[in-house]
Structure 1
Amino acid sequence: MADTAVRPDRPAHSTAPDNAAPTFDASIDIDALTPHLLGKWGDIRLEAREMITDDAFWQIPGQHYLEHRERVLEQCRLLAQRGAGGRAFPTEYGGLGTQGGNLAGFEELVLADPSLQIKSGVQWGLFTSAIYQLGTKKHWDRWLPDAMSLDLPGAFAMTETGHGSDVQSIATTATYDVEAQEFVIRTPFRGAYKDYLGNAATHGRAATVFAQLITGGVNYGVHCFFVPIRDENGENLPGITSEDDGPKGGLNGIDNGRLAFDDVRVPRENLLNRYGDVAADGTYSSPIQSPGRRFFTMLGALVQGRVSLDGAATWAAALSLKIAVTYGNQRRQFDDGTGEETVLLDYGKHRRRLIPRIATAYAQAFAHEELLQKFDGVFSGETDTDENRQDLETLAAALKPLSTWNALDTIQEAREACGGQGYLAENRLVGLHQDLDVYATFEGDNNVLLQLVGKRLLGDFAAQFSGKDTKHLAAYAARQSASKLFHGAGLRQLGQTVADLGSTARSVELGLRAEDQHQLLADRVQQMVADVGTRLNAARKLPPAEAQEVFNENQVELLEAARAHGELLQWEAFSDAIDRIDDEGTRSVLTWVRDLFGLSIVEKHLTWHLLNGRLSTQRAAAVTRYIDRLCTRLRPHAQDLVDAFGFAPEHVRAPIASGVEQRRQDEARAHYADLRASGAAPTPEKRARER
C-alpha cells in the first residue's frame, strides 16, 4: 500500500531552515511551473482548454433550466463530434485508449460549465464505462459505438431514493426466467426508484441498471444490466416509469430524474457479465467466488468518477482563487493616510483568507496528479493488480472528500473576498458554489468515503498483529500509553520550550521545518488509528450489537483520522513535486507555499497537538505567527501563483478579473489627481476647521 499508507520511513525532504531569508530575489517562472500543475497529460488538458475557448461551450448565467438542459445536450454532441467522449475507449471503436488522459481532459470542462462536465461524465464516464468495464466484447460491439457518438444517450441507474451510498442494499431486482431466457427487472416499492440520474428525465434512451440478480431462488448480489428505457421518439417503453427531479440547487443543465421498472423484461445477454454470468439453464457462475469481493470489484471498476471529481473540484477552487486574487490585487479600499486607498490584498486579513487557500489548491493539484497516474496504471493494465486496485480505491476515497469540501470553502471565501461584486452572477463565484455543492455527496458521500479509508487504515493496523498472540497487542498498547504519557507529561514540551528561546524564527528553525511538519502530520494519523484500533480490538468478542455501539462511539475519531491521512498524502505529494522543480526561484517560493499548507493543517489541529503533547504552547503560538509571516512573504507572488494555473480569459470569464477593475481604479485616481492639480478640489471639513 505504498501510495496510501502512512509512511513514517519516507525519505526526509530538505532539512535547510525554511525560514531562512533567501540569498537571491526569489521569483516564479510561470511558464515553467504551469506544466507541473497540468501534469503528465498536460497536452490533453491544453487541447480541452483550447476547445472550450469557443463560447458555444460556455454557461449562460440565469438561463432557464429547461433551456440549459438542451444547450448542454448540444454541447455534449459537439464533444462527441470532436472525439472528446471516446478518449478512454479502445481504438478499434474509435477511441484513444488513454485512461488518465481521458479524465484529464474531462476535468477541464468544469471551466466551461460544471453541468457540461457532469452530463458528459454521466454519458461517457458512467453509462458507457459501465458497458465497457462491466461488459464483454459482445456488449462492446453492440453498444459502444453508439454510446460514444451519443447516438445512444444513457443513464447510470445505481442510486435509489432509499439507498444512496449503501449500494449493496438496493432493492431493485432482476429475476431470471428460465423458460423465456430473460431477466425481469422490477421496482418493488417507492423507495426503490432509481433517483438523481442524469439523462433519466428526458434525454436517455437506455440505462445501465444495478439490481439484485436472482436465479434459481438465490440472490447473487448486485449486478449491472443494459435496459432500454425510451424509443427513438423519446417515449417511455412499456413498464418504464420516469419522473423529472425538476430544478435543483445547481447543475441545472442536467436532466436528473427517476426511473422505475414494472416487470421490464430484457434478454439474458443484457447482463453485463464480466464478473458474473447466468447460463441459459439459470446456472450462475463468476470468476470471483467471494460475494463481497465480487461486489467491490464491480464498483471499483467505476472508481473514475471519484478520481475525476477530485480533479474537477481542484480546478474549480483554482478558478475561484484566480478571480479573487486578481480582483484583490486591483480593488482599493480605505485611505492609507497618504491620500491613496489600499489594495485589498495588502490587508493582513485578505492575505490570510486567500493565500493559504492557494497553498491548498497547489497541494490538491499535485496529489491529484499522483492519483491520476495511479488510476491510469491500473486501468490501462500496466499495473493492474488486486493490491493496486485497492490502493487506488483508498486513495480516491481519501482525496475526493478533501478536494470537494475545500472547493466549497474556497469558492465561498473567494466570493466574500470580492464583496458585492462576488455576488453578481456574471462573476461566476455564486454559480460555481451552487454547481459544486453536490460534488460533496455524489460518487460517494464524503463521510462514507472517509469511513472506507478509516477501515482500510484499521485493516493495515490489524495486519501488524496477524498471527501474533494477545501479548504483542498488549505490548504495543503499553508502548502507545507510554508515548502518550511521555508527551502528555510535558517532557517533550519542556525540551521545545527551552530550545525556542522566545524567537519565532528560531522556533520554526528548530521545530517546524519540512521533516517536522511531516512528523507532526504522520504522528497524528498513527496515534489516532492506533487509539481507535486498540479500542475496537478490545470489543471484538462482544455481542454484535455492543460491538457496533463501540464502533459508533469511535466513528467520529476514525473519520478524522482518515481525513488527516488524506492531508498527509497531499503534503507528501506537494513535497515530491518540489523535488521535480529545477528553477531555484520557483522551488524556493513553492517551498514556502508547501510550508504554509503544512503549518495551516497543524494550526487547524492545534488543540490535538497540545492535548497530546506534540507541541509546546510556545511552539504552538509560533505556528500561527509564522503562518502570518509566510502570507506576508508570499503576498508579492500571489498573482503569479494563480496565473500559473494557466487559465485564459475565456476560461475565467469574470469581468472583475478581466482588468476592468484596474481601469476603474485608474480612472478614479486620475480624476482625483487632476482635481488636486487644478486647485479645484474642495477642502475637507476637518481641515477647514483647523484653519
Structure 2
Amino acid sequence: HLLGKWRDVRLEAREMIKDEAFWQIPGQDYHTHRERVFEQTRLLAERGAGSRAFPTEYGGQNTQGGNLAGFEELVLADPSLQIKSGVQWGLFSSAIYQLGTKKHWDKWLADAASLKLPGAFAMTEIGHGSDVQSIATTATYDPETEQFVIVTPFRGAYKDYLGNAAVHGRAATVFAQLITGGVNYGVHCFFVPIRDDNGENLPGITSEDDGPKGGLNGIDNGRLAFDHVRVPRENLLNRYGDVAGDGTYSSPIASPGRRFFTMLGALVQGRVSLDGAATWAAALSLKIAVTYGNQRRQFDDGTGSETVLLDYGKHRRRLIPRIATAYAQTFSHEELLEKFDEVFSGEKDTDENRQDLETLAAALKPLSTWNALDTIQEAREACGGQGYLAENRLVGLHQDLDVYATFEGDNNVLLQLVGKRLLGDFAAQFKGKDKRALAAYGAKQGASKVFHGAGLRRLGQTVVDLGSTARSVELGLREEDQHELLTDRVQHMVAGVGARLNAARKLPAAEAQEVFNENQVELLDAARAHGELLQWEAFTDALSRIEHEGNRTVLTWVRDLFGLQLIENHLAWHIINGRLSTQRAASVTRYIDRLCTRLRPHAQDLVDAFGFAPEHVRAPIASGAEDERQNEARAHYADLRASGKAPTPEKRPKRK
C-alpha cells in the first residue's frame, strides 16, 4: 500500500541503489563529492533511470508518474544525487521537453537524457527568487540577424543557485523577458550554450561558483550572467510563444498571465517529486530512530533490568505521532502523483486539472518538507549522541533536506498561492448575487458554512459534501468528528479572510495591499490547514482499500492519531471559536496518549513497512549492533550475579 501504483519502479530503483557506488560518503570535501555525484548521475543515465518520462524514440519509457516514483527513491542513496539528477532531467531536460517542440527534442533531448549534454536550469535570480514574473534578464529579438540577444542588466539579475552551473553544465535553459518590436511579452525560456567541450565559458558567459553550502554539497551550484549573448531564433522554446523571422510574436494563449502560469505549470513536477522525496527521507529517519529506540536501554526499571527507550511515555509521544504523519504524507503523495500522471500523460490534461494539480502540489510540498526537517531533528535528538554521529546519517539528512523548504518555491509563497485559490473558490460561490442576497446569506449561515472547496479537495476521488457544520462536535472524536473539525477550521478561516478582503476591494491600491498584509498570516494558516485536510482525507481513502482486517484496524488507529494531533496543534483555535469545550479539548490529548500506548507494540512493524533494506538505511545504530551491545551488557551482569562475585551496592534496598 505504501509503495503505491508504481511499486515495480520503486523497487527497481531501490534495488539499483543497493550498489554502494551510489552511496554518499560522509565527510568528503565538496569538490570530491561533486565529482562522485556526477559519475553517479552517469551511472543512472547508463541504466535508463534519467529518461523514463521521455518518448521511446528519445530513449525513454513514456511514464510520467513512474519517472517521479523512481526519482524520489534516490534520496535514500544521497540527496545530492537525487537533486543532481533532478536538475538534469527534471528541470533542464524537462524544460526542453515541456516548453519546446519536436525540432528541439530532435536536436537536444536524446543527448540531455544520456547526460552527453549536461545542463543547468537558469530561472532563479539573486534579486528575484520566487517572483519569477519580475526577473530582469532580457532576450531582445534582432530581426536583422534573426537572433535573440540575452543580457544580464545588473548584479541582482545574475542567475543563481543553479545546479550544474559552476562546473558541469554545457548549456542552460534560460528564462528571460522576451522583447520584440519594443514590446515585452513576458517570461519565456531559451536554450543557451554556456561552455565548450573543454569546459571553458563561451564568449559573453560569466560563471561563478556558489562554493560549499549547508547541505547538498554534491551539486555544483553556481551563478550565470550573460553579456549580449546571441542565440538563434530557433533556440526559443516555443510551445507557448513564438517569434517569426520578422519579429512578429504569436502565442496559442492570448492572456499574458495565463500564458506565464501555463509555462511554469509545465514544470510542476519538481514540487511533486520533492513532496515524495521529503516523505521518504522522514520515513528513513523514523526507521533509524524507532529501531534504535526499540533496542537501546537506559535507567533501571526496578527489576534489575534497564528500560527500552520506546517504553518511556515521552519517547512514544515524540516518535509514534510522527510515524502517523509519515503515513498520511505517503498516501497523499501517491494521490498527488497519480493526478500528475493523469495530466502529464495526456489522459486528463485539461486547464482545470492542471490548475488543481498546481494547487495540490503547492499545498502538499510545504507540509512534507517542513515535516521532514522536524522529524529528522526529533529523530536525531531521540538517538542522543549516537544520532549526532555522521555515520548514523541523521545530521547529514537534516543538512541536505534543509533547502527543500525554500527551493522549487518557497514554502510560504506556495501556501499563499493555495490561499489565493481558496479565496477564488470562496468568491465564486457569490458570483452574480446582489448585495442584499449576500447580506442575507451571511446573516443566516455565518462564516463557518460558506466555504466547501470540493474542487481542491478531491485527490483523484469524490469528496462527499459534509452538509451543515452546525451539529455538535462534542459527540466524540471518531472519523466523522475529526473530518468535521478539520474542515470547519478551513471553512471558517477562508470565509473570514475572504469577507475582510472583499470589503477592501474599493480602497486605493496601497490601502488594499495593507489590508491583505494584515490578513496574510491567517490566509497562510488556512492554506496549511487545507493541506493537512487533504492528507487526512487521502489517509482515510487508503483505509477503504485495505482488505486485511488487522492491518486496517492498526492503520485506523494511526489515521486517528494523525487527525487528533492536527486538532491538538490548534486546540486554542477550536476552543476560542466554540468548536470544542475545554473538557473535549482535554480529551484530545488524553486520547492521543492512549493511541501512542496502543500503537507501541506495532511501532517497529510500522517503520519496517516502509520497506527499506539495510543498504538503504546504512546507519549502524539501526543495524542490530545496539541490540548486540545491550545483550552483551545484560549477559555480563547476569553472569556476574550468578557467580556470586558481584560487588554489594553501597545503597541497599530497604527491607520490608
TM range (shorter): over 0.9
Alignment correspondent of 1:225: 190
Given candidates 154, 159, 167, the residue that maps to 1:194 is: 159
Alignment correspondent of 1:475: 440
AA in 2 matched with 1:647:
F
Scaled by the length of structure 2, the TM-score of the pair is 0.96
**Pairwise mapping of residues 87-126 of structure 1 onto structure 2 (< 5 A)?**
87-126=52-91
- The Cα of 1:468 is off from its aligned counterpart by 1.1
AA in 1 matched with 2:14:
R
Alignment correspondent of 1:250: 215
Alignment correspondent of 2:240: 275
| Preserved contact between residue 465 and residue 472 of structure 1 (Cα < 8 Å) | no
| Preserved contact between residue 473 and residue 481 of structure 2 (Cα < 8 Å) | no
| Preserved contact between residue 279 and residue 329 of structure 2 (Cα < 8 Å) | yes
In the alignment, the residues of structure 2 paired with residue 237 and residue 624 of structure 1 have an alpha-carbon distance, to the nearest angstrom, of 63
In the alignment, the residues of structure 1 paired with residue 109 and residue 448 of structure 2 have an alpha-carbon distance, to the nearest angstrom, of 58
In the alignment, the residues of structure 1 paired with residue 441 and residue 405 of structure 2 have an alpha-carbon distance, to the nearest angstrom, of 37
Given candidates 105, 112, 115, the residue that maps to 1:150 is: 115
Given candidates 570, 583, 587, the residue that maps to 1:622 is: 587
| Preserved contact between residue 493 and residue 613 of structure 1 (Cα < 8 Å) | no
Say whether 1:166 aligns with 2:102.
no
| Preserved contact between residue 496 and residue 616 of structure 1 (Cα < 8 Å) | no
Alignment correspondent of 1:456: 421
| Preserved contact between residue 496 and residue 619 of structure 1 (Cα < 8 Å) | no
State the percentage of identical aligned residues: 87
Say whether 1:426 aligns with 2:391.
yes
SS in 1 for 2:550: helix
- Unaligned runs of at least 5 residues, structure 1: 1-35, 485-491, 498-509
In the alignment, the residues of structure 2 paired with residue 70 and residue 131 of structure 1 have an alpha-carbon distance, to the nearest angstrom, of 25
Alignment correspondent of 1:205: 170
Given candidates 360, 370, 374, the residue that maps to 1:395 is: 360
Alignment correspondent of 1:337: 302
In the alignment, the residues of structure 2 paired with residue 483 and residue 155 of structure 1 have an alpha-carbon distance, to the nearest angstrom, of 47
Given candidates 379, 391, 399, the residue that maps to 1:414 is: 379
AA in 2 matched with 1:588:
T
Alignment correspondent of 2:334: 369
**Pairwise mapping of residues 35-184 of structure 1 onto structure 2 (< 5 A)?**
36-184=1-149
Alignment correspondent of 2:636: 671
In the alignment, the residues of structure 1 paired with residue 434 and residue 361 of structure 2 have an alpha-carbon distance, to the nearest angstrom, of 34
SS in 2 for 1:319: helix
AA in 2 matched with 1:94:
G
Alignment correspondent of 1:529: 494
In the alignment, the residues of structure 2 paired with residue 96 and residue 493 of structure 1 have an alpha-carbon distance, to the nearest angstrom, of 51
| Preserved contact between residue 53 and residue 64 of structure 2 (Cα < 8 Å) | yes
**Pairwise mapping of residues 238-637 of structure 1 onto structure 2 (< 5 A)?**
238-481=203-446, 510-637=475-602
SS in 1 for 2:113: helix
AA in 1 matched with 2:442:
A
Report the count of equivalent residues: 637
Alignment correspondent of 2:454: none
SS in 1 for 2:496: helix
- The Cα of 1:479 is off from its aligned counterpart by 3.2
**RCO higher in structure (CA 8 A, sep ≥6):** 1
AA in 2 matched with 1:243:
E
SS in 1 for 2:2: helix
TM-superposition CA deviations, 1:262-305 (whole Å, max 9, x none): 00000000000000000000000000000000000000000000
| Preserved contact between residue 477 and residue 534 of structure 1 (Cα < 8 Å) | no
SS in 1 for 2:211: coil
SS in 2 for 1:387: helix
Q: 1:190 to 1:527 in 2, by over 3 A?
A: same
SS in 2 for 1:38: coil
- Unaligned runs of at least 5 residues, structure 2: 450-468
In the alignment, the residues of structure 2 paired with residue 404 and residue 687 of structure 1 have an alpha-carbon distance, to the nearest angstrom, of 52
SS in 1 for 2:361: helix
Given candidates 653, 664, 681, the residue that maps to 2:646 is: 681
In the alignment, the residues of structure 2 paired with residue 110 and residue 241 of structure 1 have an alpha-carbon distance, to the nearest angstrom, of 32
In the alignment, the residues of structure 1 paired with residue 354 and residue 138 of structure 2 have an alpha-carbon distance, to the nearest angstrom, of 28
SS in 2 for 1:554: helix
AA in 1 matched with 2:12:
E
| Preserved contact between residue 448 and residue 492 of structure 2 (Cα < 8 Å) | no
SS in 1 for 2:533: helix
In the alignment, the residues of structure 2 paired with residue 537 and residue 45 of structure 1 have an alpha-carbon distance, to the nearest angstrom, of 47
- The Cα of 1:471 is off from its aligned counterpart by 2.0
- The Cα of 1:496 is off from its aligned counterpart by 7.0
Q: 1:222 to 1:169 in 2, by over 3 A?
A: same
In the alignment, the residues of structure 2 paired with residue 481 and residue 460 of structure 1 have an alpha-carbon distance, to the nearest angstrom, of 17
SS in 2 for 1:375: helix
- The Cα of 1:217 is off from its aligned counterpart by 0.2
| Preserved contact between residue 194 and residue 259 of structure 1 (Cα < 8 Å) | yes
Q: 1:495 to 1:322 in 2, by over 3 A?
A: closer
- The Cα of 1:212 is off from its aligned counterpart by 0.1
TM-superposition CA deviations, 1:512-556 (whole Å, max 9, x none): 000000000000000100000001011111111111110000000
- The Cα of 1:495 is off from its aligned counterpart by 7.1
| Preserved contact between residue 52 and residue 66 of structure 2 (Cα < 8 Å) | yes
SS in 1 for 2:192: strand
What is the aligned-residue RMSD (CA, Å)?
1.4
Q: 1:495 to 1:263 in 2, by over 3 A?
A: closer
In the alignment, the residues of structure 2 paired with residue 475 and residue 634 of structure 1 have an alpha-carbon distance, to the nearest angstrom, of 49
| Preserved contact between residue 494 and residue 616 of structure 1 (Cα < 8 Å) | no
SS in 2 for 1:686: coil
| Preserved contact between residue 121 and residue 174 of structure 2 (Cα < 8 Å) | yes
In the alignment, the residues of structure 2 paired with residue 456 and residue 473 of structure 1 have an alpha-carbon distance, to the nearest angstrom, of 21
Alignment correspondent of 1:662: 627
TM-superposition CA deviations, 1:642-674 (whole Å, max 9, x none): 000000000000000000000000000000000
- The Cα of 1:483 is off from its aligned counterpart by 6.3
| Preserved contact between residue 172 and residue 211 of structure 1 (Cα < 8 Å) | yes
| Preserved contact between residue 288 and residue 622 of structure 2 (Cα < 8 Å) | yes
| Preserved contact between residue 493 and residue 614 of structure 1 (Cα < 8 Å) | no
- The Cα of 1:332 is off from its aligned counterpart by 0.2
SS in 2 for 1:175: strand
In the alignment, the residues of structure 1 paired with residue 219 and residue 443 of structure 2 have an alpha-carbon distance, to the nearest angstrom, of 56
In the alignment, the residues of structure 2 paired with residue 382 and residue 224 of structure 1 have an alpha-carbon distance, to the nearest angstrom, of 26
